[in-house]
Structures are given as structure tokens and as C-alpha cells.
């Protein structure tokens, strides 16, 4: 049986416990910022998740990296070796089969217009493959995606390089600091892998230093004359004017839909040419990074390896993959090849 004094003491403890719980509750709530219905959803970007840091993650700041490939081969094995070496997460979605009649019908689009240059068979197949992968981006409702061809190469420092690209693209598009997207959102196509691009005085351009940029003296290709107009040992970001080759290009959600709308109907020489023309006309909002950060890897020239487009056009390749896959080739305009470092432990810049 409880005595009156003991009951009083127990009530004191109960009151103290209730007061302590109330104080702890108010303290815990005070740790969270008050909700303001007029404030944007993201009011600041935490330092640990700053846009430039996100651009250096395993998908280079995009929601996904997708490789265009129709089958496992030396191309995909080298691609995945380079990805593993540089810590990139690359998916290779299976390509759906193409009926020959669909390819033939696509090739014939615009045949009554003599001013339209239509794709050859191999280029038509490649074009449709790009469209299928872009449809995958749309169907997956990806916010952004980087699409690359399966024989591309990049520098071993690609994750650090893309942090610099993030800063430059955000600067070029005047992206506010409160916008957390690594490259902002003011673009449809971000063209970071190509075989050349035009540049002239008067282009609004953001220049930035990159320790891994290919210097003028080692740059190869048709665009060398334009590259030499740029400051050496620097990259440039500007509105796309004449990029050629779709080695690697990023699409925003709306950009993917727009590419299907404006480039999906054929009537051109090749997918990359049609995409370039649409960018040049500013039907698409496209941004180029020059010199490129992704370029095609070439097996040794002595093996006369054919591209998938050339094979699609009926050209025959004499060599088997086993003949050249373990022999180091080269990559133009990439100082420290991720493929060659991963597969052969060496650099393979073509000079």
C-alpha cells in the first residue's frame, strides 16, 4: 500500500518526465528549417552534393549512361574494361531487331526530293538504332542520359574533367546557383564526344583550363584548323554549330523527345549529320564541348577493321576479332586512353 508521501514523490517524477519530453520535442523540431510555401523546393545546394561534384560521379552527373551496341564484341569488352578502370556505370540495353522492310522504308523516305541526300544502308541501320535507344530514354522517363557508341574512348581523368565541364556549361547557360542539376537545364543536347566542330571569332564562348586537354600540336582530324583558333591547353563551351559524329551526346528529358520529333523522320545523310543540321538551325538547343572528351578507338590499321556502318553497307572484314583484340590500337585526341590503360597498361594517343 502506497503512503501519501510516496505518492507525492511519484507524481513529482511524472511531472518532471513530462516536462523533459516536451522540451526535447521542441528542441528536435527546432533542428529543421521552417517551411515557407513561397520558397523554392531547393533553396541551397549542400557542399557535399554541389553540381560539380555530382558531375564527377559514376554516371558523370547524368541519370544514366547508355551504350549503343547490337552485340557483345571487342568494342563492348573494351568499353566495359575502360568503364571499370575509371569507375563508370555504363548500361548496354539490348537493341530490338529491325525488319529489313523497315530499314528499306526508312532509307526511302524523301526519295522523291532530289535535294535530300539519303543514308546508305549501314547509316540507315545506325540511325534507327540511335532512335531506338532514345525511345528507351523516353520510355524510362530519364531526366538526363548520356548516349555513347560502343567503340568510344575517354581519358582516365574523365570524372574530374566533367566537373570542369559542369562549371563551364552552367556558366555559359547562366544557371543560378540554386539550380542543383549538374549541367543546368538550359539545353536539349550536350555534345561532348565528336570528331570535330567549327569555331570562329564572335561565338559566345566559355573557355576553361583542363590538364588533360589534347594540345594543338597533337590534335588530329578535319577540325584541326578550327581547334587552332582556340587558346591552347583549354577547352571551349559554346552553342553547337557544326559538330560531326555522335561518339557521345547527352540528352535532357525534353531533348530526347525533341530529337525523336525532329530527327526521327530520316531525310538526311546520317543520324549525326541530321542532328547537327537541327542543332545548327537552333530547332534544338545544343551545346558543344571542344576539343571533344570522347573519341573513337581504332584497332591497329594493319588489320583493316571495318565499322558497323561499313559492314552494314556490305563491306567485308578480313580479320577476325581474335586476331586484333589483344593488340593495342590507338585513340585520337585523348591524352590518356582509358581503354588502353585498362587493357594494355599503356597510353595510346594517335599522333
pLDDT tens string 256-276: 999 999 999 988 899 999 999
pLDDT at 23 exceeding the cut of 90: no
Residue 110's pLDDT is: 72
Closest CA to 244 of 266, 260, 268: 268
234-239 and 64-68 strand pairing: unpaired
- Which three cell numbers, joined as nine digits, stand for 331? 585513340
CATH code reported for the domain at 61-298: 3.90.550
**What pLDDT band is residue 109 in, cutting at 50, 70 and 90?**
confident
Residue 115's pLDDT is: 72
Residue 314's pLDDT is: 60
Residue 26's pLDDT is: 45
A 10 A CB-CB count for 61 gives: 23
Which residues lie closer than 8 Å to 84 by C-beta, 6 or more apart? 342
Report the DSSP beta bridge partners of residue 157. none
3-state helix vs strand vs coil in the chain, percent to 5: 40, 15, 45
Instruction: Decide: residue 206, CB within 10 A, 0-12 exposed, 13-18 middle, 19+ buried.
Output: middle
**Least confident range of 28-42, 80-94, 254-268, 307-321:** 28-42
Residue 242's pLDDT is: 97
| Spatial distance between the Cα atoms of 174 and 111, rounded to a whole number of angstroms | 43
Residue 41's pLDDT is: 28
Residue-averaged pLDDT of the chain: 86
Q: Give 225-236 pLDDT, tens digit per residue.
A: 999 999 999 999
Roughly how many angstroms between the first and final C-alpha of the chain, as a whole number? 98
Return the domain boundaries, the chain. Answer: 61-298
Residue 315's pLDDT is: 61
| Helices 271-280 and 121-139: angle between axes, nearest 10 degrees | 60
pLDDT at 147 exceeding the cut of 90: yes
DSSP 95: P
Look at 166 and 303; give whichever has higher pLDDT: 166
- Looking up cell 547562366 gives 174
| Spatial distance between the Cα atoms of 153 and 282, rounded to a whole number of angstroms | 29
| Spatial distance between the Cα atoms of 249 and 35, rounded to a whole number of angstroms | 39
**Least confident range of 24-38, 99-113, 130-144, 269-283:** 24-38
Q: The whole model's pTM is what?
A: 0.84
- DSSP, residue by residue, 137-166: HHHTT-SEEEEEETTEEEBTTHHHHHHHHH
- Which three cell numbers, joined as nine digits, stand for 40? 523554392
Instruction: Decide: residue 185, CB within 10 A, 0-12 exposed, 13-18 middle, 19+ buried.
Output: middle
Residue 321's pLDDT is: 82
pLDDT at 141 exceeding the cut of 50: yes
- Which three cell numbers, joined as nine digits, stand for 162? 566533367
Segment 104-115 mean pLDDT: 79
**What pLDDT band is residue 208 in, cutting at 50, 70 and 90?**
very high
pLDDT at 54 exceeding the cut of 70: yes
Look at 22 and 175; give whichever has higher pLDDT: 175
Percent pLDDT > 70 in the chain is: 83
| Spatial distance between the Cα atoms of 99 and 152, rounded to a whole number of angstroms | 27
- Looking up cell 548516349 gives 147
| Helices 121-139 and 253-263: angle between axes, nearest 10 degrees | 150
| Spatial distance between the Cα atoms of 122 and 37, rounded to a whole number of angstroms | 55
Instruction: Decide: residue 104, CB within 10 A, 0-12 exposed, 13-18 middle, 19+ buried.
Output: exposed
205-209 and 234-239 strand pairing: antiparallel
Amino acid at each position: 500500500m502506497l503512503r501519501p508521501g510516496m505518492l507525492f514523490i511519484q507524481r513529482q517524477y511524472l511531472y518532471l518526465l513530462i516536462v523533459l519530453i516536451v522540451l526535447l520535442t521542441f528542441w528536435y523540431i527546432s533542428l529543421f528549417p521552417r517551411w515557407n510555401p513561397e520558397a523554392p523546393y531547393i533553396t541551397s545546394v549542400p557542399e557535399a552534393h554541389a553540381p560539380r561534384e555530382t558531375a564527377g560521379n559514376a554516371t558523370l552527373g547524368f541519370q544514366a549512361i547508355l551504350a549503343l551496341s547490337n552485340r557483345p564484341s571487342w568494342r563492348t569488352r573494351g568499353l566495359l574494361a575502360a568503364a571499370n578502370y575509371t569507375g563508370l556505370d555504363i548500361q548496354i540495353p539490348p537493341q530490338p531487331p529491325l525488319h529489313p522492310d523497315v530499314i528499306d522504308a526508312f532509307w526511302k523516305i524523301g526519295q522523291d526530293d532530289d535535294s535530300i541526300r539519303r543514308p546508305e544502308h549501314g547509316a540507315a541501320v545506325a540511325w534507327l538504332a540511335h532512335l531506338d535507344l532514345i525511345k528507351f530514354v523516353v520510355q524510362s522517363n530519364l531526366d538526363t542520359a548520356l548516349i555513347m557508341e560502343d567503340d568510344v574512348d575517354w581519358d582516365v581523368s574523365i570524372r574530374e574533367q566533367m566537373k570542369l565541364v559542369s562549371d563551364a556549361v552552367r556558366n555559359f547557360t547562366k544557371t543560378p546557383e540554386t539550380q542543383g542539376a549538374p549541367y543546368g537545364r538550359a539545353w536539349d543536347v550536350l555534345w561532348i564526344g565528336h570528331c570535330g566542330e567549327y569555331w570562329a571569332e564572335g561565338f559566345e564562348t566559355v573557355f576553361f583550363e583542363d590538364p588533360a586537354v589534347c594540345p594543338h600540336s597533337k590534335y588530329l582530324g578535319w577540325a584541326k584548323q578550327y581547334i587552332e583558333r582556340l587558346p591552347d591547353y583549354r577547352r571551349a563551351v559554346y552553342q553547337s554549330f557544326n559538330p560531326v559524329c555522335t561518339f557521345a551526346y547527352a540528352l535532357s528529358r525534353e531533348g530526347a523527345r525533341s530529337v525523336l520529333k525532329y530527327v526521327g523522320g530520316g531525310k538526311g545523310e546520317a543520324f549525326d549529320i541530321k542532328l547537327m543540321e537541327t542543332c545548327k538551325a537552333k530547332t534544338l538547343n545544343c551545346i558543344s564541348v571542344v576539343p571533344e572528351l570522347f573519341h573513337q578507338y581504332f584497332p591497329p590499321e594493319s588489320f583493316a577493321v571495318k565499322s558497323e556502318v561499313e559492314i552494314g553497307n556490305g563491306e567485308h572484314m578480313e580479320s577476325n576479332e581474335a586476331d586484333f583484340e589483344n593488340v593495342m590500337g590507338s585513340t585520337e585526341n585523348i591524352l590518356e586512353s582509358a581503354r588502353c590503360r585498362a587493357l594494355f597498361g599503356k597510353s595510346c594517343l594517335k599522333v
